[in-house]
Amino acid sequence: MCGVSSRRGADDLISDGVVNVNGKNERNLGSTIDPDNDVIRVRGKIIKPEQNRYLILNKPKLYITALGEGQDEKRTIQELITEIPERVYPVGRLDYDVEGVILLTNDGELANRVLHPSFELKKTYFAIVKGNVSNAKSLRMAQGVKLEDGYAKPDSIKLLKTDKISSTLEISFHEGRNHLVKRFFAEFMHPVRQLRRMSVGPLSIGNLERGRWRDITGKELKNLKKAVGLEN
């Protein structure tokens, strides 16, 4: 929360003896401090928690949902948020070839709750799939299907348009299993050609352009906290 390191990195800093609490080196990983009254230094520099920051990014395709340098010359979303001074982290991920809304924040408690399946936060996608999806088949999709890691039933599914070549559907899941939407449509023999996440809970991509970000509004933050049981 102070923008110094990850939690694991913080453990290493403490073990290395470069963390000082009220004038004394601290090597005990289990120690607790009062951030309002204790003076914490790392390598001699006083640190303080950053203000919480909440933003959404419209991730383009062909970007990795990661911070830092990419692998095999692939770009990461770090390149899209270089002007943000706080160390915000993506909450969840989108595949390299998937675009759409990603929440980034330095509020660890909120992030953990957004990711926790018990709060059933709904994610809505636009999917362009191969082949003609009939109304009858979309109704069968609404009943769900058994995947290798359990049954998958969408919260909602709507057939938007279809032709002989492809079909466009809106689909929502509150689960966060890996590649769930792609595997779901593949099971019906309609592999995904394009996939875009339009919303995460009350956070909607709206008119946000690809590759751009914005701070979420006070109303959006209030609704998100309410959705994950963090109402004041």
The predicted-structure confidence for 158-170, as pLDDT tens digits, reads as follows: 999 999 999 999 9
Domain extent, residue 19, equals 7-46
147 shares a domain with 89:
no
- Residues in contact with 184: Cβ distance below 8 Å, sequence separation at least 6, in sequence order: 141, 145, 147, 152, 154, 171
Instruction: Tell me, yes or no, if 11 is annotated catalytic.
Output: no
- Among candidate residues 12, 38, 95, 97, the one labeled active-site is 95
Domain assignment present for 190: yes
42 shares a domain with 155:
no
126 shares a domain with 196:
yes
210 shares a domain with 164:
no
pLDDT of 179 higher than 80: yes
Domain assignment present for 1: no
The predicted-structure confidence for 73-125, as pLDDT tens digits, reads as follows: 789 999 999 999 888 999 999 999 999 999 999 998 899 999 988 888 999 99
Q: Tell me what pLDDT residue 70 has.
A: 61
CA distance 123 to 176: 9
Instruction: Count up the domains in the chain and report the number.
Output: 3
196 shares a domain with 90:
no
What's the CATH number where 188 sits?
3.30.70.1560
Select from 159, 171, 230, 167 the least CA-distant residue to 199: 171
190 shares a domain with 138:
yes
pLDDT of 5 higher than 80: no
Domain assignment present for 59: yes
106 shares a domain with 71:
yes
Domain assignment present for 23: yes
Cβ atoms within 10 A of the Cβ of 20, count?
17
